[in-house]
Structure 1
């Protein structure tokens, strides 16, 4: 079978194009060839974290991968006949502070939607730039996926920040033969929660992050009484925090995360996380802009029509929808809510519909 050609420079031109393409390839058994990988980035081509994601999925599904090396600007991914799944516990070391979350974003839907379960332990960065924090994955993404029948849990054994990484996350993924379509249109008020973490820094750093976030929420008329500050071990100093609301009764599934960096005050971390949360909450969205992107892959394989409301349409989301249509053959539509300047409804008709 000739591979489907995917232009890696389309839309936002980032690594998500590759991750979505290989995940869908593994589940559907359709070979893909992704060219011009990360062409719009300062350092185009595969980076170690992208390499890790492809290797994990290829290993799990017995796929043949051509040109898999750091810096490669094209990759051909060909799943084995019948989509063989090896299964069994796994250990993966990204080898840098590369994002564990981005690797899981490729592995979780591929494994679960192939009807298989897996325990996998990944070493790398738990909370790093240009990536969802691990807490966002386990408190927001996991709950949203659960509403579609995709169940996974994450256990953070050790935090990992830039530059050393060294964080360890154990993921338990349950099988899902076919995801259920979702209708997440209700942006009803659900009390927020806050989790704030610091490593190799005084605990008051995590507490200051919380105080800043609480103040931002209060200024918008939102009260939060459920918050925790924790000190966790890590090879490098770092901080992260998450402000979120997640309900298993039709949403919302909304989160705002932020990480600490050299020269960035704890108060700024808290304000950033709160601002990202408030963007969706104040707009009445049921899904935040980043989760809207992550829902594309499972929903394009659902048997039925999915609809969800978000506060903003990112270039990541548009690009992911295009890739899903190319590989899985799904249909989609983006409609701005009538009379509302900051709400959009995403409709996806799964390829099994």
Structure 2
């Protein structure tokens, strides 16, 4: 089996997850050293180990060295099988990141799949379940990927307890797509999720978003979740236009006021609105790999993140593709060449 040697010092968990995905999709094995080497707690945490085990399960892979805290592992993929799978992080670790690890392999399988995932659904530094359902999966649908997504229970850090189901149909070949223009502006909407905390916090966040972005501050946009599995507070803004829905998320945390949460989120949304790019920073990071698997594609984004550039370098080790990014009126135009 062809094997690739990888150094995970600079890339964090994303580098490992992308390597797992690409290994399953190409049949090329890899060994990775210094996993999350520059993080405060290096090595595999529970959500990373869940992603490794999920990849091994769907791809009948042989894995050597995977354990909590491990800073190196070897992954030898087998044949990807569609079917019914259940993966749980066993913590508040992000279940959406586990989904993104195995999803590309499963749409290449010959049989449909149903995934039940448990863990965090709305985590800092991870795509929210709403982002997956409303931004990420619709973008994949433009490439021919057919999925359904059902959120069954919200899960916040540190309690976890979230659940969702994803159904995936086989996709023989992805179609290259271009996400370069926004289309007609439709709406900017805000909502706040509260779990085990006073709804007044959400109203204060919503008011900041209303003052800054002009969204509707009616209390009906603050949703108190029942039953409350641990405390949680998430503010979200949806920007809808003809070609794309962008979901932006802010997380409440101890020591940070509701007004600060709202202001940070408003700043992120305003930066996107002020530019002309079609795709936000986080979606741009996550489009690179499926576009590479499609053998082509393009999008505009307002910023080239470190995640995007490190992911591009990794993808080029597994696939015969090249990436180009150049400054444009919209910010940056990124193109994938097969």
- Equivalent residues in 2 for 1:127-206 (5 A)? 127-188=122-183, 189-206=185-202
* Distance of aligned partners of 1:35 and 1:318 in 2 relative to their CA distance in 1, 3 Å threshold: same
The secondary structure found in structure 2 opposite 1:162 is coil
After superposing the two structures, state which structure 1 stretch, 312-321 or 253-262, moved more.
Answer: 253-262
Q: Does 1:293 align with 2:285?
A: yes
* Distance of aligned partners of 1:116 and 1:265 in 2 relative to their CA distance in 1, 3 Å threshold: farther
* Distance of aligned partners of 1:306 and 1:69 in 2 relative to their CA distance in 1, 3 Å threshold: same
* Distance of aligned partners of 1:27 and 1:114 in 2 relative to their CA distance in 1, 3 Å threshold: farther
Cα deviation code 1:32-63 (max 9, x no counterpart): 22221111111111111000011111101101
CA contact (8 A) 1:253 1:286 kept: no
Q: Does 1:273 align with 2:280?
A: no
- Give the distance between the partners of 1:331 and 1:124, measured in 2 at CA: 35
Cα deviation code 1:269-326 (max 9, x no counterpart): 23322322222221111000111010011100114x3110000010000011111111
- Give the distance between the partners of 2:244 and 2:255, measured in 1 at CA: 34
Aligned to 2:52: 54
CA shift, 1:116, in A, is 4.2
Aligned to 1:313: 304
Aligned to 2:211: 215
CA shift, 1:115, in A, is 4.8
Unmatched runs of 5 consecutive residues or more in structure 2: none
- Give the distance between the partners of 1:207 and 1:142, measured in 2 at CA: 30
Aligned to 1:7: 7
TM-score (norm 2): 0.92
Aligned to 1:67: 65
- Give the distance between the partners of 1:210 and 1:238, measured in 2 at CA: 16
CA contact (8 A) 1:3 1:33 kept: yes
Cα deviation code 1:70-114 (max 9, x no counterpart): 11111211111xx241x3322222111101121112122221134
Cα deviation code 1:170-215 (max 9, x no counterpart): 2222322222111111134331232321111233433333222122
- Give the distance between the partners of 1:199 and 1:176, measured in 2 at CA: 38
How many residue pairs align between the two structures? Answer: 335
* Distance of aligned partners of 1:101 and 1:307 in 2 relative to their CA distance in 1, 3 Å threshold: same
* Distance of aligned partners of 1:124 and 1:254 in 2 relative to their CA distance in 1, 3 Å threshold: same
Unmatched runs of 5 consecutive residues or more in structure 1: none
Q: 1:333 aligns with which of 321, 324, 337?
A: 324
TM-score (norm 1): 0.88
- Give the distance between the partners of 1:196 and 1:254, measured in 2 at CA: 16
- Give the distance between the partners of 1:130 and 1:103, measured in 2 at CA: 14
Q: Does 1:113 align with 2:104?
A: no
Aligned to 2:95: 100
CA contact (8 A) 1:136 1:255 kept: yes
CA contact (8 A) 2:206 2:217 kept: no
CA shift, 1:225, in A, is 9.0
Cα deviation code 1:153-177 (max 9, x no counterpart): 3322222222221111222223222
RMSD, matched Cα: 2.0
Aligned to 1:259: 251
